[in-house]
Chain A
Amino acid sequence: MIRQQTGNIAFLAAIIFVLTACGESGSGDYCDNHYEFHASHIDSVVELSIELSEEGALGGRLLVPKSALDDTTLSGIETLLASTEKTFSLQSQVPCDISVTNLNWVNDILDVRYAASCGADNKIGKIDVTLFDHIDGLEEVVTSVTTPATAKRFGISRQCDAPIFRVD
Chain B
Amino acid sequence: MKSLLKFFAAGTDQPRLTDTALIDEQFRYYRRNVIVVIILCYGLGYVCRLALNVVKKPLMDAGIFTPEEVGLIGSMLLYGYALGKFSNGLLSDYSNVKRFFAAGLFLSAMMNFGMSFSSLVWLSATLWILNGWFQGFGAPSCAVALASWYSNRERGRYYGLWSTAHAIGEGLTYLGIALLIALPPKGLGLSWQFGFWVPATICVLAAVIVYVYLPDRPRTLGLPSVAEWRNDGGEKAMAAAHDAASILKDQLKVIAIPSMWVIALASSSMYITRYAVNSWGNVYLQEIRGFDLFDANFFIFLNTAAGILGCVAYGYLSDKLFNARRPPANLLFGLMELLPLFVIFYGPANATVLAIALVVYGFGLSGILASLGGLFALDIAPKKVAGAAMGFIGIFSYLGAGMQDYVSGKLIYDSEMQVVFSTGDASQTVFFYDYSVPIMFWIGASVVSMILAGSLWKVRASD
Q: Which residues of A are at the interface with B, using a C-beta cutoff of 8 A?
A: 11, 15, 18-19, 23-24, 32-33, 50, 123-133, 141, 143, 145, 147-152, 154, 156, 158, 160-163, 165-166
Q: Which residues of B are at the interface with A, using a C-beta cutoff of 8 A?
A: 61-62, 180, 183-184, 188-191, 194, 197-198, 201, 205, 287-288, 290, 415-424, 426, 428-430, 432-436
Which chain B residues border A15 with CB–CB below 8 Å?
Answer: 201
Which chain B residues border A126 with CB–CB below 8 Å?
Answer: 417-420
Contact B428 A50 (CB under 8 A): no
A-B pairs with beta carbons under 8 Å apart, 14 shown: A23-B189, A23-B191, A125-B416, A126-B418, A127-B418, A132-B423, A132-B424, A147-B434, A149-B436, A150-B287, A150-B433, A151-B290, A160-B428, A163-B61
Indicate the member of B424, B432, B434, B435 with the most A CB atoms within 10 Å.
Answer: B432
A132 CA to B425 CA, complexed, in Å: 11
Which chain B residues border A127 with CB–CB below 8 Å?
Answer: 417-420
With A19-B190, A24-B191, A132-B423 in contact, is A163–B418 under 8 Å at CB? no
Contact A149 B435 (CB under 8 A): yes
Contact A163 B430 (CB under 8 A): yes
Which chain A residues border B189 with CB–CB below 8 Å?
Answer: 23-24, 32
Indicate the member of B189, B198, B417, B421 with the most A CB atoms within 10 Å.
Answer: B421
**Distance in Å: Cβ of B6 to nearest Cβ of chain A:** 29
Contact of A50 among B197, B198, B419 (CB under 8 A): B419
A151 CA to B61 CA, complexed, in Å: 15
Which chain B residues border A128 with CB–CB below 8 Å?
Answer: 420, 422
A141 CA to B419 CA, complexed, in Å: 13
Residue of A with least CB distance to B194: A19
**Distance in Å: Cβ of A168 to nearest Cβ of chain B:** 13
Which chain A residues border B61 with CB–CB below 8 Å?
Answer: 162-163, 165
Residue of A with least CB distance to B284: A150
Contact A18 B422 (CB under 8 A): no
Which chain B residues border A129 with CB–CB below 8 Å?
Answer: 419-422
A23 CA to B184 CA, complexed, in Å: 13
Residue of A with least CB distance to B191: A24
**Distance in Å: Cβ of B426 to nearest Cβ of chain A:** 7
Which chain A residues border B422 with CB–CB below 8 Å?
Answer: 128-130, 132-133
**Distance in Å: Cβ of A25 to nearest Cβ of chain B:** 11
- Please report whether the interface of chain B is mostly helix, strand, loop or mixed according to DSSP: mixed
Contact of A150 among B180, B184, B288 (CB under 8 A): B288
A18 CA to B180 CA, complexed, in Å: 13
Sample of 19 more A-B contacts, CB < 8 Å, known A145-B432, A150-B434 = A19-B188, A19-B190, A19-B198, A23-B190, A33-B184, A123-B417, A126-B418, A126-B419, A126-B420, A129-B421, A132-B423, A133-B424, A143-B430, A147-B434, A149-B435, A149-B436, A152-B432, A154-B430, A160-B428
Contact A165 B183 (CB under 8 A): yes
A162 CA to B189 CA, complexed, in Å: 14
Which chain A residues border B419 with CB–CB below 8 Å?
Answer: 50, 126-127, 129, 143, 145
A149 CA to B436 CA, complexed, in Å: 8
Which chain B residues border A11 with CB–CB below 8 Å?
Answer: 205
Contact B432 A156 (CB under 8 A): no
Which chain A residues border B290 with CB–CB below 8 Å?
Answer: 150-152
Which chain B residues border A19 with CB–CB below 8 Å?
Answer: 180, 188, 190, 194, 198
Contact A152 B430 (CB under 8 A): yes
Which chain B residues border A23 with CB–CB below 8 Å?
Answer: 189-191
With A19-B198, A125-B416 in contact, is A147–B423 under 8 Å at CB? no
**Distance in Å: Cβ of B440 to nearest Cβ of chain A:** 13
Which chain A residues border B183 with CB–CB below 8 Å?
Answer: 32, 165-166
A163 CA to B205 CA, complexed, in Å: 36
Residue of A with least CB distance to B419: A127
Contact B428 A149 (CB under 8 A): no
A19 CA to B199 CA, complexed, in Å: 12
**Distance in Å: Cβ of A131 to nearest Cβ of chain B:** 8
Indicate the member of B415, B417, B420 with the most A CB atoms within 10 Å.
Answer: B417
Which chain B residues border A166 with CB–CB below 8 Å?
Answer: 183
Contact of B428 among A32, A125, A151, A163 (CB under 8 A): A163
With A15-B201, A149-B435, A162-B428 in contact, is A156–B417 under 8 Å at CB? no
**Distance in Å: Cβ of A13 to nearest Cβ of chain B:** 13
Contact A149 B198 (CB under 8 A): no
**Distance in Å: Cβ of B283 to nearest Cβ of chain A:** 12
Contact B430 A145 (CB under 8 A): yes
